[in-house]
Structure 1
Amino acid sequence: MRHSKNILSRIIFFIIMYTAYYKLFHIFNRTDNAAFYLMFLIMGLAYYLVGYLDFSNGKLEKNDIVYSVLINTVLGSINYFFTKSKKEFTVFLILIIIANLIKYILAALNNSKMNVLLAGENDLIDKIKQSIINSDRHVYTGQCCCEGVDRLKEIVSEKKIDMIIITEKAILKNHQNLLLDLKLKGKKIQTYWQFNEEVEGKIDVTKIDERWLLYSLGFNILHNTLQRRVKRLFDIVMAIIISIPALPIMLLTAVLLKIAGLLDKKEAGPLLFTQIRVGLGNEPFKMFKFRSMITKENWAEVGFDPHKESWTTEGDPRVTKIGHFMRKTRLDELPQLLNVIRGEMSFVGPRPESVPYVEELERELPFYNLRHAVQPGVTGWAQVMYPYGATTEDSLRKLEFDLYYIKHQNFVMDVGIFFKTVKTVLSVKGR
């Protein structure tokens, strides 16, 4: 997978950073109290949230240096405020150098690019060509049509090809020995479908069938009881942890909603918006959100049919003033903690849709019902990989990411998605 190197690099980064942090502080006989460990956790989270731990671009950016200086200086200043120790402040400055040195080395190790040749001449070529061009790890070198496959060895040698991507099944069938020979000589052979998963993190649902789904590896979440229990345990633990700071925030949000309703009658209405959504096994459940729109009785005033479901659009007039802020910060989603605790939702999974949308999208999109093979989520792979969408085409794109998630779901992936969502919330990118 394309993310495995990045994850491994992050693990190595944290091991080295913690070792340096621990050793440097113990030179000055620092006590291993809660504040000692909390400071390191805050440092690690800060590095993640600013994007410092992305090693895929293969280099140490100027912004990385700036961020490391800011993070360590701020944390060092906070530490100095409580300890009055100049020596410990110096430790944070030394950690700037160590962090950037580690980032430089790990990024360089991730910078190996592969020369890629496409073999085929169908409609997939343009799709995959653009993916290669956008990739940090691959270099597009050209295309070999079906008639030229017999010259593949010569082309591979001339252009120093590292990887061949097959877009037509006929090539796989008719040239197996040739492709196997190239593979044994160290060349990476992949199909369009494999490359799409590895680089784009999605599965092209328009190019698969029931046979592919039946024999494809992965999808362990569907039958692995232990995996499902670990996921449920993660949900319960995180729900308890998040509920502690969330409860006062939810109370304040409720008060602000009531005040907004008193100041403007158009914004008046119930605190919570509840809607029947489709969950695991196509079972309907009631999902909770803070109400961020005017009530349906007032939809007609802003040009919307109150009897018809419709996606939220940019600048949607139905969204209230305080609702706009809640959507940007995702505060409207906080009541879904109750759905998670009740076991109707997970923290991570495909976002649940309302019954009318599901019925429509199941008619329009292939394999849409597969989303309901797992629990729906407060956030998901599609949400962190694709912007907000309000069309059937957007739903298709998100389905591709959802299917990838169902195939590859694991605990580490869930944790990564959770923190990517935290980063999105703090950057105020909701709608």
Structure 2
Amino acid sequence: MKIKKIVIIRIIYIIVLYLIYNILLNQYDYVTRYLTNFIFLVFIFIKFIFGQLDFYAERFRLKNIFVNFSIDAIFAFVFFIFLRKLEIFYVFGAVFIFQTIFRKIISSIYMKKKNVLIFGSNHIENNIQQDIINSLDYNYIGYISNNKSRATKYLIGNYDEMEKIIKENKVDLLVIVKDMQSPSFKKYLKRLFDLKINGLKVLSYEIFNEEIQKKIDASKIDEEWLLQSNGFDILNDGMQKNMKRGVDLVIASTLMILLSPMALIVAILIKLESKGPVIFKQVRIGENMVPFKVYKFRSMKIHDPQKYSKYAQDNDNRVTKIGNFIRKTRIDELPQLFCILKGTMSFVGPRPEWDILAKEYEKQIPYYNLRHMIKPGLTGWAQVMYPYGENIEDTKRKLEYDLYYLKHQDLILDVLIIFKTVKVILFGKGK
């Protein structure tokens, strides 16, 4: 779905929802306009956090009906506690009915998955095939290629059968992963152009990766690409840097004050459960490759690091009970607010990497150190878009998202990352 269509549908949804909510509240003469409007903003924010402003066909399911009903019921109950009038349940009942009908209509009419076909067999190396299969936006048809020596179960034909396959499968999007400068590809350009005129969307792998998947393939980067690429404003715009620093100070200071009671409780529980210091310190690589110390609540038992993997594994026996909880909820990261106040970290940015691992990655991953051109963050685009890394391949994939953030960072993207981080914390997807 195009971004423009998403925005329009969300605006219509919120406006109609507000009219139903406000008209019914006025009819029953409840509270002041300022209070009802504030509660509505909170209501919409909660809907966003729980993914109820996303309208995909495959997302119209019982889970979403249950989530919407639960949120509506909680807000109705809170209203009832203060107002003591049963009519408030009619208001949120009408809101729930509208939400369910709206989602069903939009999902069935507009939000159909796009049928995607890959042109070429290089997707085997760049993982684009798996990205499409896992995406909620696409229905993967398969790929076409003349290279049968490396064929997989998804190969459905060769290049000469392209037009037939596109028409039979009603393909909406063709992603080119083949070398577009090769003579074997150029002979199909005219046919691709004709198909594009007839409504087929054709994207190169690089454009699909950056504009649709919101990441940049590090293997495609070279010095020429870096010189010619637009973006990277965060590296040169002093005003943007100052604004980001100001936001960091406000958020870090506020959270340190609000969450200090929780931090004290966590510190006591860590001390009671296992021997060792409450705060774990480790040298990480910061902006411009400058090392600094990062602070976290200790979530593991004291152990010999030479005898264990450098990566935390699933069901790792080093992790304590309280450690498992604070890792999933990201509470273990709270001491890093002090790093943000010091200026060695930002609230949003690439994950600060352990100096030992960073040296290994620098040798194995081209242009890995580009991520160190800005301050590391408490949260970041890679953290909310990709699960916790457990090996070198995961690190390469996360670098793709870090490079996208480096190129496209702005205040809006930072706010989106913060919202997504809240969702990660609420659903316990941290590690």
TM-score tier by shorter-chain length is 0.7 to 0.9
Quickly say closer, same or farther: Cα 1:178–1:21, change in 2 above 3 A. same
Give me the whole-angstrom Cα distance separating, in 2, the residues matched to 1:241 and 1:83: 32
Q: Does 2:113 correspond to 1:113?
A: yes
Aligned-residue sequence identity (percent) comes to 40
8 Å contact from structure 1 (residues 278, 353) kept in 2: yes
Give me the whole-angstrom Cα distance separating, in 1, the residues matched to 2:397 and 2:110: 28
Quickly say closer, same or farther: Cα 1:24–1:251, change in 2 above 3 A. same
| Letter aligned with residue 113 of structure 2 | K
Which of the residues 167, 170, 192 maps onto 2:205? 192
Q: Does 2:300 correspond to 1:293?
A: yes
Matches within 5 A, 1:55-94: 55-57=55-57, 60-94=60-94
Q: Does 2:58 correspond to 1:48?
A: no
Deviation at 1:253, TM superposition (A): 1.7
Deviation per CA, 1:15-51: give whole Å up to 9, x if none. Answer: 4333433333223333337653453244223323333
Residue in 2 that maps onto 1:166: 176
Q: Does 2:238 correspond to 1:239?
A: no
**SS at structure 2 position matched to 1:195:** helix
Quickly say closer, same or farther: Cα 1:110–1:125, change in 2 above 3 A. farther
* Number of positions where the alignment pairs a residue of Structure 1 with one of Structure 2: 418
Matches within 5 A, 1:16-415: 16-32=16-32, 35-57=35-57, 60-108=60-108, 110-122=110-122, 124=124, 127-145=127-145, 156=166, 160-168=170-178, 169=180, 170=182, 173=186, 175-260=188-273, 267-295=274-302, 299-300=303-304, 304-305=305-306, 310-415=310-415
Give me the whole-angstrom Cα distance separating, in 2, the residues matched to 1:178 and 1:155: 13
Deviation at 1:378, TM superposition (A): 0.8
Quickly say closer, same or farther: Cα 1:384–1:187, change in 2 above 3 A. same
**SS at structure 1 position matched to 2:90:** helix
Deviation at 1:176, TM superposition (A): 4.5
Residue in 2 that maps onto 1:264: none
**SS at structure 2 position matched to 1:419:** helix
Deviation at 1:142, TM superposition (A): 5.0
| Letter aligned with residue 250 of structure 1 | A
Deviation at 1:151, TM superposition (A): 6.8
**SS at structure 2 position matched to 1:81:** helix
| Letter aligned with residue 258 of structure 1 | K
Quickly say closer, same or farther: Cα 1:430–1:217, change in 2 above 3 A. same
8 Å contact from structure 1 (residues 118, 125) kept in 2: no
Deviation per CA, 1:371-392: give whole Å up to 9, x if none. Answer: 1122211112222222222222
**SS at structure 2 position matched to 1:305:** helix
Give me the whole-angstrom Cα distance separating, in 2, the residues matched to 1:311 and 1:151: 46
Residue in 1 that maps onto 2:428: 428
Give me the whole-angstrom Cα distance separating, in 1, the residues matched to 2:77 and 2:36: 14
Give me the whole-angstrom Cα distance separating, in 2, the residues matched to 1:400 and 1:122: 17
8 Å contact from structure 2 (residues 57, 113) kept in 1: no
Give me the whole-angstrom Cα distance separating, in 1, the residues matched to 2:234 and 2:217: 20
8 Å contact from structure 1 (residues 115, 139) kept in 2: yes
Deviation at 1:352, TM superposition (A): 0.5
Q: Unpaired segments of 5 or more residues in structure 1?
A: 261-266
| Letter aligned with residue 164 of structure 1 | L
Deviation at 1:346, TM superposition (A): 2.0
| Higher mean displacement: 169-178 or 70-79 | 169-178
**SS at structure 2 position matched to 1:292:** coil
8 Å contact from structure 1 (residues 293, 318) kept in 2: yes
Q: Unpaired segments of 5 or more residues in structure 2?
A: 148-157
Quickly say closer, same or farther: Cα 1:217–1:65, change in 2 above 3 A. same
8 Å contact from structure 1 (residues 135, 199) kept in 2: no
Deviation at 1:423, TM superposition (A): 1.8
8 Å contact from structure 2 (residues 57, 112) kept in 1: no
Give me the whole-angstrom Cα distance separating, in 2, the residues matched to 1:323 and 1:350: 23
Deviation at 1:395, TM superposition (A): 1.1
Deviation at 1:139, TM superposition (A): 3.5
Give me the whole-angstrom Cα distance separating, in 2, the residues matched to 1:305 and 1:118: 44
**SS at structure 2 position matched to 1:190:** strand
8 Å contact from structure 1 (residues 313, 390) kept in 2: yes
Quickly say closer, same or farther: Cα 1:39–1:116, change in 2 above 3 A. same
Quickly say closer, same or farther: Cα 1:231–1:15, change in 2 above 3 A. farther
| Letter aligned with residue 315 of structure 1 | N
| Letter aligned with residue 235 of structure 1 | D
**SS at structure 2 position matched to 1:54:** coil
Give me the whole-angstrom Cα distance separating, in 1, the residues matched to 2:132 and 2:267: 48
Quickly say closer, same or farther: Cα 1:72–1:319, change in 2 above 3 A. same
Normalising by the residue count of structure 1, what TM-score does the alignment of the two structures yield?
0.84
